Structure 1
Amino acid sequence: MSAGAPTSGRVARAALLGATVAAGTVALGLVTGTGPLLGPMAAAHGVGTGAVSLALSATLCAALGLGVVTGPLARRLGARALVGTGALLVPTGLFAAAAADRFAPAAAALVAGVGVGAGCVVVPMAAATGAAFAHGRGTALVVATAGGGLGTVVTPPVLAALLPVLGLPGTLRAAGLVSAGVLVACVPACPGRPRPAGRRTPAAGRPSAGPGWRLLAAATVGLTAAMFVPFTHLPGYAAAHGTDPAGGAALVALAGAASLTGRLLAVPAQARWGAWAVHRAGAAVFCGAFALWATAAGPTGLTAFAVVFGLGHGAYLGVAAAVVLQLHGTDALALRIGSLHAATAVGGLVGPAAAGVAADLTGSPSAAVAVGAALGVAGCAVLAAVRPTAVTGRPAGSAGAAQPPRCRSIA
């Protein structure tokens, strides 16, 4: 069984899809839902929040950026080997960060352990899911992204609840134990090493590098840079406006719950209008929500922002892999998904770190909101310039062209 061939058996496919959701909940939750750690880590190691934001952003960057490497590796070694490696690295990184008495080794442990480990999990499992479903592939890819939404629902309030009880080291160790249990349990559901193939697809390892693809990658950088700002800085902004830490974490969790809802709503939406249309609409919604954040001065406004932002965020991310499928089919699916994840990684590195530096320099959390809004506007402007014909290199309606707007026609 390989990451490039359909997984045999309905039970095996269902187990793989469930494992992808569970592993994504842990792996992505630990790289996107760590906002509650920002203040405690800064205080414990005597550094500014900008430095901690940079470390958390680098962790996210490693998790997403490695997809361009781990995706193709999964085609050769099997997703099981990569996920098994991630199941070892993620808890090791958390335990090492808990034991560190200085910031530099703690940050290195998070990046090399949690970041690299999550990178071994996310794209290989998404690509394996896409390969396993010969029918309903677009829908399966959308459902597989639910783990990201669940991670942002579960992780922030759990971390916020554990920190006062266990302290920072104890919280990191607890997260390490949970991540080890979940990820190890997911390994058997993953495809093993593929059988030797009789022939190779000539272009299997080369995603399009035309101007349309580069525009799509650039738009992804800007949009994801904006997208990760609230998950890191919303708790601090809420605290500056009189909300306690638990309330700030609850807002991030609410955004995650709305994101999960957005992903679920994206399933029928992409079947009707196509993944590309839903992708652009989701981007417009979550970027427009920054106007709500900028004017929010209390719990009601922040709650409205979290809901609207989360719905757009979920729709945008939920169909990202299906967009690749709609525009390119299954050819080099793992590498193409990994390439967009790499663009997402750059955004994840730039956005929260730039917002954190701006907040430190101005002494106001509102600066982080302004940075996020500016990045989102820039990303939307570039995305609006992308045309599906430019990405595929084939005019719509021509022989062999991807036929927008229905992703399911390819599955």
Structure 2
Amino acid sequence: MPVAALRRAVRESVSGLPREFWWLWTSTLVNRLGAFVATFMALYLTLGRGYSASYAGLVASLHGLGGVISSLVAGVMTDRLGRRPTLLIAQSSTAVSVALLGFMHDPVAIAAVAFLVGMASNASRPAVQAMMADIVRPEDRVRAFSLNYWAINLGFAVSAMGAGFIAKYSYLAGFLIEAAMTMACAIVVFVKLPESRPTRISKGSAEEVGLGTVLRDGRFMSVVGLSFLVAVIFQQGSVGLPVAMGRAGFTPADYGLAVAVNGFLIVALQLPVTRFIERRDPRQLLIVSSLLAGYGFGLTAFAGSVAVFALTVCVWTMAEIVNAPVQTGLVVRLSPTHGRGRYQGMYTLSWAVAALIAPLMSGLVIDRFGAKWLWGMCAVVGMVAAAGYALLMRRLPAQEKAGETARETTEVTAAKTDAATAEAGAEAAVNRV
């Protein structure tokens, strides 16, 4: 009976999604399975090349800076060129730049190519998220984003283990394997994924969307700001936590054991939790997940053993499982159909900037005030984010509270009206196409 129930749960989790989604999901999984470089970059530079930790940190910052820049550029490309061309450019550029990085020896060249890798590897995210929004029904989007997030974490868990094994024998092999697998993703996109960008019948059917439009959208930019706060909290799992545990006398193996709970729980619980939350109010879910994230890291101040550290990881991992798909779904709901790339690019920017700032912030706080201040700040930031979501959701119009369907129905109706007008020979409408 439990086996039958499990099969039914899995079937309900994966049923009803279009075939194009599964090819995109496969591309994501393969991409993350080959993500070796991000895992062992610091070890490669310090142990493999003999550079200092400061230089390794500089390279990591340049890699992050490349991601910050590409978030906006890729968002514009996604809307102008299309989802498929942007994915092809991003993934093929990532494959070439990662392979090139493996052959670099000069420190300036390594830093420059790492910056290019950061740009190329981050450029696919707005296109992937926009394409998922295009091809998946509004009522299935939270489930689709959850499945994609599950694939990311499953791939990362496997690649992290593989990276350690490969690094023992050849760092260059890791670079070349990642390049090959990323190129395989580009081939999957080229062969199996058609362009999904909505076709605009006339400019009157949808308002022109530029980066200025996104920046003037106060409600959406509020979401971006809140996303940044939550992202800074989550970044502490890979930034502040290892430093704090090391200062407290714990070994790298202790940190690895505690943080491994994060990946295990995501792989084990992402799908069942998604089935539980996908029909629930996203406002409440975002408020609760923000509080769980803040308090989860806040509880780290009281941890004195690996078991307690692992328990705190459980708390903020549950926040991550809930926040990731719901937040992405909210971004899609607030994005106009013909501006999804730019809106997703701005949302991705919030995470890229958090990845750039969090290491500097956590190091400064730990050095000057101690780790307990960092964890207390995380709890406060989580409460601020929760309050922000509560205020933001209160301001949402009633039609948007019903979900994305009403918005898209209106756009389709407008498009049909424009088409009818064009067929009737309305010269002004024709000239605006």
Same fold judged by TM-score > 0.5?
yes
Match of 2:182 among 167, 179, 182: 179
> Which structure 2 residues correspond to residues 253-268 of structure 1 after superposition, within 5 A?
253-261=260-268, 263-268=270-275
Q: 1:182: how far off?
A: 4.0
| CA shift digits 1:259-312 (9 cap, x unpaired) | 345643553344332233222322221221113433334331232233222221
Q: 1:64: how far off?
A: 5.8
Match of 1:403 among 386, 401, 404: 401
| CA shift digits 1:112-145 (9 cap, x unpaired) | 12x2222232110111111012353423233333
Match of 1:311 among 300, 318, 321: 318
Judged with a 3 Å threshold, the aligned counterparts in structure 2 of structure 1 residues 193 and 381 are, in CA distance, closer, same or farther, namely: closer
> Which structure 2 residues correspond to residues 188-267 of structure 1 after superposition, within 5 A?
188-192=191-195, 197-200=200-203, 201-205=206-210, 206-207=213-214, 209-232=216-239, 234-235=241-242, 245=252, 248-261=255-268, 263-267=270-274
> Which structure 2 residues correspond to residues 4-403 of structure 1 after superposition, within 5 A?
12-19=19-26, 21-22=28-29, 25=32, 34=39, 36-44=40-48, 48-49=52-53, 51-63=55-67, 66-113=70-117, 115-134=118-137, 136-138=139-141, 139-166=143-170, 168-192=171-195, 197-200=200-203, 201-205=206-210, 206-207=213-214, 209-232=216-239, 234-235=241-242, 245=252, 248-261=255-268, 263-328=270-335, 330=337, 332-356=339-363, 367=371, 370-371=373-374, 374=377, 377-378=380-381, 380-386=383-389, 387-388=391-392, 392=396, 394=397, 397=398, 401-403=399-401
Query: What's the TM-score, normalizing by structure 1?
Result: 0.78
Q: Which has the larger radius of gyration?
A: 2
Counterpart of 2:216 in 1: which secondary structure? coil
Q: 1:319: how far off?
A: 1.7
Q: 1:341: how far off?
A: 1.1
CA contact (8 A) 2:83 2:197 kept: no
Judged with a 3 Å threshold, the aligned counterparts in structure 2 of structure 1 residues 107 and 370 are, in CA distance, closer, same or farther, namely: farther
Q: 1:255: how far off?
A: 1.2
Q: 1:47: how far off?
A: 5.1
Aligned length: 387
CA contact (8 A) 2:362 2:374 kept: yes
Judged with a 3 Å threshold, the aligned counterparts in structure 2 of structure 1 residues 288 and 202 are, in CA distance, closer, same or farther, namely: same
Q: 1:349: how far off?
A: 0.6
Cα RMSD after superposing both structures: 3.7
Long gaps (5+) in structure 1: 1-8
Counterpart of 1:110 in 2: which secondary structure? helix
Judged with a 3 Å threshold, the aligned counterparts in structure 2 of structure 1 residues 279 and 195 are, in CA distance, closer, same or farther, namely: closer
Counterpart of 2:214 in 1: which secondary structure? coil
Structure 1 CA distance for aligned equivalents of residues 65 and 268 of structure 2: 25
Structure 1 CA distance for aligned equivalents of residues 333 and 23 of structure 2: 22
The aligned amino acid for 1:257 is F
CA contact (8 A) 2:67 2:121 kept: yes
The aligned amino acid for 1:22 is L
| Percent of residue pairs bearing the same amino acid type | 13
Query: What's the TM-score, normalizing by structure 2?
Result: 0.74
Structure 2 CA distance for aligned equivalents of residues 160 and 13 of structure 1: 33
Aligned to 1:3: none
Q: 1:322: how far off?
A: 0.6
Judged with a 3 Å threshold, the aligned counterparts in structure 2 of structure 1 residues 303 and 133 are, in CA distance, closer, same or farther, namely: same
The aligned amino acid for 1:42 is T
Structure 1 CA distance for aligned equivalents of residues 302 and 197 of structure 2: 53
CA contact (8 A) 1:60 1:349 kept: yes
Counterpart of 2:179 in 1: which secondary structure? helix
CA contact (8 A) 2:294 2:316 kept: yes
Q: 1:375: how far off?
A: 5.0
The aligned amino acid for 1:125 is V
Structure 2 CA distance for aligned equivalents of residues 37 and 370 of structure 1: 29
The aligned amino acid for 1:347 is A
CA contact (8 A) 1:90 1:176 kept: yes
Long gaps (5+) in structure 2: 1-15, 409-433
Judged with a 3 Å threshold, the aligned counterparts in structure 2 of structure 1 residues 407 and 211 are, in CA distance, closer, same or farther, namely: closer
Counterpart of 2:168 in 1: which secondary structure? helix
Structure 2 CA distance for aligned equivalents of residues 77 and 131 of structure 1: 15
| CA shift digits 1:63-90 (9 cap, x unpaired) | 3652333234223323222222222222
